[in-house]
């Protein structure tokens, strides 16, 4: 089957929520119908235990404190609404698309579904880290949108961390191929993103999504047309995690980065 005549579906793996809805709606507006596979969120206990395993219990509990404070004290709903309006972003649940719900992108149900769908390309946004068994379920390219500049700012809240490190030059977005690492796949597209002074960690990713969507759609079109051009980026590599409450407050007070 030639790329021009490839009628196989575009599948998007996602985790639900406003940001995922923005990505789903933005891609479908540019590319036409998508098939969505949405995983169930991890429980709070699972998240805390996983973070404690990686970073220790003190840091994990500090991250819980940050998450609670962010939700209760700094919702920033007005700023988010302004970003959505300015950039034409749609955070509402998508309609008219086929949505399959699975326990996890790494569950046997998801792998069986991917195999049955036989997609031309698999797009990924906001899910758990894909395990090798999931990655190798289909021969199609897997393309991820990451809200940071890889490989320098891998992991979570990369836009925030670039600003917190005084490295606004590397606050941006990356569209990359998925491999078995954490945001380590070859880069397809990158661009820098600047933020409004009133933006905070609650709104950075919404601004970034507006810049990422055209690149994400372009990479998917490239994959369907057989013209992907992956490249390595010569930057230091580090994986980041959510800030602790005390670290976030210290950075905000000392550096003005919230």
Whether 162 is covered by a domain: the verdict is yes
Half-sphere exposure of 136 (CA within 13 A, CB side): 4
- Could you tell me where the beta strands, DSSP code E, fall in 91-194? 98-102, 121-124, 142-146, 154-155, 172-177, 187-192
The answer to whether position 61 is within a domain reads yes
CB 142 within 8 A of CB 178: yes
- Beta strands 187-192 and 239-240 are unpaired
Residue 157 lies in a domain: yes
Contacts with 139 (C-beta within 8 Å, 6 or more apart), sequence order? none
- Residue 1, in any domain of the structure: no
Contacts of 197 (CB under 8 A, 6+ apart): none
Q: Is 19 helix (H, G, I), strand (E, B) or coil?
A: helix
98-102 vs 35-39, strand pairing mode: parallel
Specify the CATH number for the domain of residue 124.
3.40.50.12230
- Counting every residue written for the chain, the total comes to 258
Query: Structural domain of residue 156, as residue ranges?
Result: 6-255
pLDDT of residue 74: 74
User: How many Cα atoms occupy the beta-carbon half-sphere of 38 within 13 Å?
Assistant: 19
User: Would residue 153 count as lying in a domain?
Assistant: yes
Report the number of distinct structural domains present in the chain: 1
User: From CA 14, how far away is CA 212, in angstroms rounded?
Assistant: 16
Tokens at residue 27, please? 């891609």
Q: For every one of its 258 residues, what pLDDT tens digit does the chain have, with 9 covering 90 and above?
A: 445 567 899 999 999 999 999 999 999 999 999 999 999 999 989 999 999 999 999 999 999 999 998 888 777 889 999 999 999 999 999 999 999 999 999 999 999 999 999 999 999 999 999 999 999 999 999 999 999 999 999 999 999 999 999 999 999 999 999 999 999 999 999 999 999 999 999 999 999 999 999 999 999 999 999 999 999 999 999 999 999 999 999 999 999 999
Confidence at residue 2, expressed as pLDDT on a 0 to 100 scale? 46
Residue 12 lies in a domain: yes
CA 117/CA 34 separation, integer angstroms: 12
Residue 125 lies in a domain: yes
Residue 151 lies in a domain: yes
Which pLDDT value is given to residue 72? 81
**Measured between alpha carbons, how far is 199 from 201 in angstroms, rounded to an integer?**
7
Q: Where are the beta strands (DSSP E) in 156-235?
A: 172-177, 187-192
Residue 224: helix, strand or coil by DSSP? helix
Q: What is residue 186's DSSP assignment? A: P
User: Do the beta carbons of residue 3 and residue 121 sit within 8 Å?
Assistant: no
The pTM score is 0.93
The two structure tokens encoding residue 136: 């190798």
Please give the pLDDT value at position 71: 83
């Amino acid at each position: 089957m030639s790329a021009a005549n490839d009628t196989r579906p575009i599948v998007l793996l996602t985790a639900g929520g406003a940001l995922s809805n923005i990505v789903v709606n933005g891609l479908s507006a540019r590319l036409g119908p998508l098939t969505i596979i949405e995983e169930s969120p991890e429980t709070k206990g699972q998240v805390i235990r996983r973070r404690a395993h990686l970073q220790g219990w003190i840091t994990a509990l500090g991250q819980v404190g940050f998450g609670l404070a962010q939700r209760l004290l700094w919702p920033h709903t007005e700023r988010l609404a302004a970003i959505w309006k300015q950039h034409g972003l749609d955070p509402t649940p998508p309609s008219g698309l086929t949505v399959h719900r699975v326990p996890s992108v790494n569950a046997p149900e998801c792998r069986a579904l991917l195999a049955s769908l036989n997609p031309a390309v698999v797009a990924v946004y906001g899910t758990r880290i894909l395990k090798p068994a999931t990655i190798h379920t289909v021969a199609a390219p897997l393309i991820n949108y990451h809200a940071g500049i890889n490989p320098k700012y891998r992991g979570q809240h990369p836009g925030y961390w670039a600003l917190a490190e005084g490295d606004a030059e590397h606050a941006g977005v990356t569209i990359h191929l998925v491999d078995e690492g954490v945001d380590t796949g070859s880069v397809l597209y990158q661009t820098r993103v600047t933020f409004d002074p009133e933006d905070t960690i609650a709104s950075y990713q919404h601004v970034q999504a507006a810049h990422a969507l055209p690149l994400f759609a372009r990479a998917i079109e490239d994959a369907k047309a057989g013209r992907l051009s992956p490249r390595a980026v010569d930057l230091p590599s580090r994986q980041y995690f959510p800030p602790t409450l005390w670290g976030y407050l210290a950075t905000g007070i000392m550096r003005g980065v919230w």
